[in-house]
Structure 1
């Protein structure tokens, strides 16, 4: 059988699949093997002879019976024969070929589903863990800022009680100029409010303690004056 020859530089399988559409058993076998491999199905080309003429206990096979087909690996069954070449009558692959293709679809669909589950389940667990971590992080951030803000409010209230002029429009830096003893703690509060990198929990706890100590000192001095 004659088949169109691909132009120079053209891949033979591509030319057969997408341009000529004409060929003999080697073309069909090569095309099926390439397509199966492209989706991860193990496949190989086998060559030999098909049919022949039985003569008593002998079978006569001539060169014109040379043939090429595909062997497909099915887990649990091994290498199965898949012959994609249409018969001489022009009919498509026979019942055996249809059975092999059905097994390929069934087996590798299950493999794909199993692989997807293997990937999706851990990914879901990881995303769930990340979501919990983000929620905990947001709660910690809210608690940290609440504690610092409460300490700042207590200091401002103490200063107001002591007769100092304090306004809501006053910045943290201006408050630090007014109360030098709280400068370090107020720097932590300013970092928490405006800096890209938040202070550590240890820094926050220390700042809250220092602010409360300054607040207590301001209130004590105010009581002494009264």
Structure 2
């Protein structure tokens, strides 16, 4: 009976020793699975980054879609800031003030393949103090819904006899001024029958004027 008991004890001991390395292997296997999970999470996070850019693009498109359409002669008001209306549009190699005096400034395209586009805007200052004329509005031309042409502004003075720089001109409260927004564009754009619009930004407001 003692011999049998001894044999059983030895057998049990060998069984425990044999099982021990297998447990370690299982432990290593669990660790490998955890690493794979962490790696997968990292890849998922990196794939989500471009989605932020797409979201930003969607916001820009939404802002464009909220632009208010305006027509020639229609007056729009930005409370406490300004009242504006588009009074004229023109394609020409040479842009002059409405009532040229004896000596006056004008803008002329010197390139054979380009011309000027001018958008004339009447603006009344509704603010309590003077506003710099170049801060009233910002205008961009968009041709065929994809090509952008920035404009620069100039302002009439002396009742329309001359132009002066808009960045040195202050418009007093409740006074109205005439602003010209000019862009030198290719003749192709001027002569085309494809869509052309002017996007007018005034503070946080965006207006869209259809040129053609």
**Normalising by the residue count of structure 2, what TM-score does the alignment of the two structures yield?**
0.32
Question: Greater helix percent: which structure?
Answer: 1
Structure number with greater Rg is 1
Question: Greater strand percent: which structure?
Answer: 2
**Normalising by the residue count of structure 1, what TM-score does the alignment of the two structures yield?**
0.30
Quick one: higher RCO (CA 8 Å, sep 6+), 1 or 2?
2
